[in-house]
A and B are shown apart, each in its own frame.
Chain A
Amino acid sequence: MILKPRLEDIKNIGYYLGKVIIGLGLTMLVPMATGIAFGEINPALDFLIGAEIALIFGFILAKLCFTEQDLSWMQGMLVVSLSWLVATVLGAIPLYLSGHWGSYLDACFDAMSGFATTGLALVQDLDHLSLAHNLWRHLIMFIGGQGIVIVALSFFVKGATSAFKMYVGEARDERILPNVVHTSRFIWLVSIVYLILGTLALGTIGVFEGMKPLNAFFHGVCVFMAAFDTGGFTPQSQSILYYHSLPFELVTITLMLLGALNFNLHYHLWAGNRREILKNIETRALFGAAVITFLITAIGLNQTGAYAQAASLFRKGFYQLISGQSGTGFMTIYAQQFFNEWNHLALAGVIIAMAMGGAVCSTTGAIKMLRVGVIMKAMLQDIKKIILPDKAIVVKKIHHIKDIFLEDKLARSALLITMAYLCLYGLGALVGMWFGHPFLNSLFESTSAAANVGLSCGITSVAMPTALKFTYIFEMWAGRLEFMSVFTLIGFIVSTFRGK
């Protein structure tokens, strides 16, 4: 029997949702201040309007639904899934008011793309966008990369029990420190330290490469946020190609890889346990996957003769591949070049890399390397069981921070999420083909959206059909939250109508 949601459920959800919205409204004051500082009056007003609407909505919701109860698992999941939708709708307000987005749906598309750290964009005339709006595009990636709810957890939520349920709902199932609020704060600490170092590195390179100092450091902070949070937005329409700089590409590759690592691993590295990076199943799988997919891509590019020099082939192939594997979406080629100059083999390498992604508890999307590693090990274990005598007992362990016995339950859970991702990639590809795009193009774009990558072969554009825009928004949302929160929301809606 399905139970109808109670008023208590709605109040609990509304209260925590209100807190998240208040947090979002306060965050909009950062680009507003930037607008004022740089004399961008109308952009500053756009953010003031956005902040006011968010604060009004948030305060009313928190007041009407005031509660002191802890969240149940279902409520925690619902708070997360709804927070991401509401943040998208509210976060799109200042974008739409700027006049650089063709419709409110386009602004919502970019807001979801930003929060989910995807990087697909429908912005128009990006090269004339204000600094305030550009900062917001990148700031939402920074917030989304840490987790919208984690931002609220760090500053507004006191109860650790409720906090943990929302933390898990946001696709982070690993606690680095015993208390989840402390874990959230540690994630912030790591990000802020890298923010300072990354901005300094990129800004300095920018100055040496001929940019004006102010521009160089503004680009530095924006590109850092998009790289470390594996987002993929850039302040200029040419993505990383704008800079025409090898040092800039090398630093962004480093940042993308750092963003693709598990925050738990960062903690152990910071604590001096450097051997963990060599022993961890995730980093091993990530390294192995990057080598194999790069080989596939390189062979493909070599077949086409797209790049006459080996150095160019490596620079273009490796950059696009790491950008895809880490789920960032930075590009040093034009979207059309993927299909005009890369052959199917080279594209397959990038699609496989995008589909697998980085580490769990990182800012990347997709299936993730821990699950890939677990599935591979489980498969090997099963093959051994078949080969060895019936009475032989095969015990397999994996090393992820600590040694873990590879049980069926673990393998099943990894396989389920993997299946869900594969279905999502396929579903988006089908919708793409429905609108007349070739299979490989559709699969490329769908995988890019669902795995929160942001590489585009040109399907994503202002002119694409509304249904396709909604499909990609759904894929970005479901892919980022790793399904459970989304399934819970669907179940909640069903129980509202069919429950007793």
Chain B
Amino acid sequence: MVKKVHGLWFIVCGFIFLLVTNCYAQPISSTELINNAKLYDGKIVAYAGEAIGDIMARGDFAWVNLNDGQNAIGIWMSKALAANINYTGSYKSKGDLVEIVGVFNRACPQHGGDLDIHAQGLRKISPGRQVTEKLNVSKRNFTLVLLVILCLVLILRQLKNP
């Protein structure tokens, strides 16, 4: 009987623990995090966004900036986690869309007061890709028309002002 009660307590406590630790399991937007930084400070949060720019390796760790379409937030993660990211967003590529879980810092004491997240886990939501640029035909045609006009202006300028 005592063992059963202990078992029940164990399940209840486990449930509460899961509830508390996963209360931010749904990704939180950057605006929500920045606007309510004091509320989330030091808590474990989930945040999802596109990896952009450079993956900046610093020793055994790396900085990856994730943009969720509203703002970009710097994520401090181990090199092993960063290795899962293959594409970062730029003009020529769409970055990997990833979700990270980690500790949110309003003013990180380790990083000079930066607002950042120290990632503990990373999940790739969708892979990035190279973006192939297609020539915009209307722009090209407009360029040619303007070029002809410019040449005419230059010729007329020379003719009237030899």
Residues of A that sit less than 8 Å from B by CB:
39-43, 45-46, 48-49, 52-53, 55-56, 59-60, 63, 66, 97, 127-131, 209-212, 215, 236-238, 241-244, 246, 306-309, 311-313, 315-316, 332-334, 336-337, 340-341
In angstroms, Cα B107 to Cα A308, docked, is 8
Q: Which residues of A contact B143 (CB under 8 A)?
A: 45, 48-49, 52
Give complex CA distance A341, B39 in Å: 12
Query: A211–B90 Cα gap in the complex (Å)?
Result: 14
Query: A55-B150, A210-B62, A315-B112 known; A41 and B135 CB under 8 Å?
Result: yes
Known A-B contacts A242-B72, A244-B63; the reply to A52 vs B146 at CB < 8 A is yes
Which of A56, A243, A315, A334 has the most chain B CB atoms inside 10 A of its CB?
A: A334
Task: List 26 A–B pairs whose Cβ atoms lie within 8 Å, in order of A's numbering.
Answer: A39-B133, A40-B133, A45-B139, A49-B139, A52-B149, A59-B153, A59-B154, A97-B139, A127-B53, A127-B72, A127-B90, A128-B52, A210-B62, A210-B63, A238-B65, A238-B71, A244-B111, A244-B114, A307-B113, A309-B113, A316-B113, A332-B114, A336-B31, A337-B34, A340-B34, A340-B37
Chain A residue at smallest Cβ distance from B147: A52
Q: How far is the CA of A246 from the CA of B67 in the complex (A)?
A: 22
Within 8 A of A (CB), among B125-162: 133, 135-136, 139-140, 142-143, 146-147, 149-150, 153-154, 157, 160-161
Residue interface bits B106-127, CB-to-A below 8 A is 1, else 0: 1101011111100000000000
A-B contacts, CB under 8 A, total? 134
Please give me the residue from chain B that is nearest to A313 by CB atom.
Answer: B113
Known: A42-B133, A238-B72, A307-B113. A60 touches B153 (CB 8 A): yes
Instruction: Evaluate contact between B52 and A127: CB separation under 8 angstroms.
Output: yes
Interface size in chain B (residues, C-beta < 8 A): 49
Contacts of A56 in B (CB 8 A): 146, 149-150, 153
* Complex contacts, B38 vs chain A, CB 8 Å: 340-341
Q: Please tell me if the beta carbons of B91 and A53 are within 8 angstroms of each other in the complex.
A: no
Q: Is there contact, CB below 8 Å, between B139 and A337? A: no
- B56 located at the interface, meaning its Cβ lies under 8 Å from any Cβ of chain A in the complex: yes
- Identify 4 new A-B residue pairs, CB closer than 8 A, beyond the known A42-B139, A237-B71: A40-B92, A49-B139, A128-B52, A241-B114
User: Is the Cβ of A236 less than 8 Å from the Cβ of B139?
Assistant: no
Q: Pick the contact of A315 from B55, B113, B153 — CB < 8 Å?
A: B113
Inter-chain contacts of B113 with A (CB < 8 A): 307, 309, 311-313, 315-316
Q: Say yes or no: A210 contacts B72, CB within 8 Å.
A: no
Which residues of A have CB within 8 Å of B72? Answer: 127, 236-238, 242
Kindly state the separation between the CA atoms of A242 and B149 in the bound complex, as whole angstroms: 44
Q: Which residues of B have CB within 8 Å of A210?
A: 54-58, 62-63
Asked whether, in the complex, the Cβ of A131 is within 8 Å of the Cβ of B147, the reply is no
B89 close to A (CB within 8 Å): yes
**Which A residues are in CB contact (< 8 Å) with B89?**
127-128
In this complex, what residue of A is CB-closest to B76? A244
> Which of B90, B107, B146 is within 8 Å of A306, CB to CB?
B107
Establish whether residues B71 and A334, one from each chain, have CB atoms under 8 Å apart when the complex forms. yes
Q: How far is the CB of A391 from chain B (nearest CB, A)?
A: 58
Contact indicator A312/B112 (Cβ below 8 Å): yes
Instruction: List, in ascending order, chain B residues with CB within 8 A of A55's CB.
Output: 150, 153
Q: Considering only CB atoms, which chain A residue lies closest to B73 in the complex?
A: A238
Which residues of B lie under 8 Å from residue A42 when comparing CB positions? 133, 135-136, 139
In contact, B115 and A337 (Cβ under 8 angstroms): yes
The CA of A128 and the CA of B115, in the complex, are separated in Å by 23
Interface string of B85-111 (1 = CB under 8 A from A): 000011110000000000000110101
Contacts of A340 in B (CB 8 A): 34-35, 37-38
